[in-house]
Amino acid sequence: MSRHAFSTRLWHWLNLLCVVILFMSGLTISNAHPRLYWGEWGFEAERAWLLVPRFVDWMTIPGYYDLAAARDWHLLLAWPFALGLLFIWVAMLRNGHFMRDIKTRLGEWKPRNIAQDVKAHLRLDFTHGHGTYNFLQKATYGVVFGILLPGLVFTGIAISPGMAPTFGWMIEIMGGRQSARSLHFIFGFAIFGFFVLHVALVLLSNPIASMRSMITGGRRHET
């Protein structure tokens, strides 16, 4: 991984835009009915497993409560988000980025190796091999690409009544439409958590080189 591939860089920034707009418009949609349930149905607060706090206006799109406007953004950006994810998976599998850099090997799952990685992170020591990911990075990217991002697409489809005739089996796997809605919310906040961690670690490690490499591709052997 001497340089970030063009496909990686293109997708990274497109996906950032999608995720930010989807998250902020999603907060408005949450405000429309800020309770989450398990199972197929739910309305009453007593059945909710989570009473979601109201998200204040400045965190939301369009910046005030307007469900129709939030849905306009959410349903538009769902397209580049989902198609972009498909694109980056195909690109990562074709150019070897996934197999070479992200896929973990069995040996890396040893507790000692993981503990060492955790300790190094806590010391803010990011001097592991240039251009390679450590175990925690691989595992995190694996969860983001393998679970959270596709999970958001599939739970979003499961919430849509127009897709229920064909995708009823998927809704049932998720435990019902309200379970799918809860998972959509959980995955959304997990991505937000990843975003915060990702930005924090970039700032703590080598922000200028990281930014440059994600924009221009970086110098050879330097990322």
Partner 1 sequence: MKRRNFLAAASAAFVAGCNRVADSAPGTRLFAAAEDWHKSAHRLLNPRDALALEFAPEDISPFFRGNGTTQPAGDYPAHEANGFEDWRLEVRGLVRHPLSLSLDNIRRLPQRTQITRHDCVEGWSAIGQWTGPQLSTLLNAAGLREEARFIVFRCADELAGAEYYESVDLVDAFHSQTIVAHRLNGAPLPVRNGAPLRMRIEKQLGYKHAKYLTAIEAVASLDRIGAGGGGYWEDRSGYHWYAGI
Site residues for partner 1, 75-94, by CB under 8 A, read 75-76, 78-79
Task: Using the minimum distance from each CB to partner 1, give the nearer residue, 144 or 163.
Answer: 163
Out of 53, 107, 111, 165, name the contact with partner 1 by CB under 8 A.
165
Residue 162 found at the interface with partner 1 (CB under 8 A): yes
Q: What are phi and psi of 5, to 5 degrees?
A: -60, 155
154 binds partner 1 (CB under 8 A): no
Residue showing tokens 């915060």: 196
Among residues 160, 175, 202, 217, which is the contact residue for partner 1, using CB under 8 A? 160
168 binds partner 1 (CB under 8 A): yes
Largest Cα–Cα distance in the chain?
Answer: 58
Give the range of 6-14, 35-43, 190-198, 207-215 binding partner 1 by CB under 8 A.
35-43
Picking from 5, 14, 23, 125, the residue whose alpha carbon sits closest to that of residue 73 is 23
The string of DSSP codes covering 130-192 is TT---HHHHHHHHHIIIIIHHHHHHHHHHH-GGGHHHHHHHHHHHTSHHHHHHHHHHHHHHHH
Contact footprint for partner 1 (CB under 8 A): 20-21, 24, 29-30, 32-33, 35, 40-44, 58-63, 66-69, 71-73, 75-76, 78-79, 159-168, 171, 177-178, 181
